[in-house]
Every structure is written in C-alpha cells, then in structure tokens.
Amino acid sequence: MQIKHGLLHPAKFIASPNYDARPENTDIDLLVIHCISLPRGEFDNHNIEALFLNKINPQLHPSFKELANLKVSAHLVIYRDGAVVQFVPFHARAWHAGVSCFQGKNNCNDFSIGIELEGTDDADYLPIQYEKLIVITKLLCQTYRGIIPERIVGHSEIAGKRKTDPGLLFDWSYYKQQVFGDTIP
C-alpha cells in the first residue's frame, strides 16, 4: 500500500460529497478511530456507503430515518472482510468527528483523519481489520509526521459525552504495539 496525492493505493475510492477544505496552514496531526454498522450490528451491506454518499434510504430500517438528512463521511472504511474504501482524500476535511475537542483544541475534523471500522463498540473486531488498520496507520504516520502514538485516539476520546466508539473491545495495546513496537511511551 502507498499514499499518493491524498489517496491510499490500491484502496477503492468513492468520492463522498461530504467534505471540504481544511483551514489554511493546518497540520494533520490526529488519527481518530471510529466504528460503524448500519443498522447497528448488521454487516456486509451497502448502507455505510449510502450514508457517506447521502443516499441512505430511510425506508430500509427505522433507525435510518434520523440519518436521512445527515451529512457525514470518513476518510476510510475498513470492512469486516478487509476491504478498504476511501471516501475523502486525506488532505481534505472529512466530516467524521462532529462536535469534538482534543487537548483543548475544538473541531477535530480540521486536523484529523477519520477511519471507520465496520463493527460495533460492543463486539470484537476481526484480525483482517487490525491487519489493514496497522498497515494504514504506519503509512499515515510516515506521511503525516504529527500523528504519533499519543495522537491516535478513539471517537470516544474526542466526543466522549456523545460517542463510545470504537468501544472497550478494541485492542489498543495490540494495535499500537504492532504499529510502534517498543517505542510506545
């Protein structure tokens, strides 16, 4: 894998309309790990893609009614089968964090990259998802030098009153050990 012009190769790229430019002179120095499934706990469908493309059908599930007019995206989704789809180039601002704050700095979308894992915050993630996330994280850390171990967080850490993802079952220790080895502070 490699990153060229803000895109992860060979990931599939499907352009979401839900992004904009980052503020000028903004360093990308935060990686936010999320989880998503639509409906909750159901996998292997096209609903995440539909949400990020503003095409979610509110008739498909009662929980989709509240999503029908929501404008959200993430830079990447790592599906349970290991497929990686990019929706927003890394240099652009995806709309993944919502109302958020990290170390006293608001609007985390401005300076972060958001990666969604297909899953729920109360279920295990699959080995192939960790494998892909580890490789991608290493590439992002090489490309965006401000992304260091302390600046890789869960959505719950930047929007804790609203969010719980990626959840208690996400294995932070394993993930960071595989990415950074013994250099973890």
Burial group, residue 29, by CB count within 10 angstroms (0-12, 13-18, 19+): middle
DSSP 184: -
What are the phi and psi torsion angles at 20 (to 5°)?
-155, -175
126 to each of 37, 63, 82, 137, how far by Cα in Å? 14, 25, 9, 16
118 is catalytic: no
* Options 24, 42, 116, 150, the catalytic residue: 116
Cα-based angle 166, 20, 109 (whole degrees, multiple of 5): 35
What is the Cα–Cα distance from 62 to 78, expressed in whole angstroms? 25
Instruction: Enumerate the active-site residues.
Output: 116
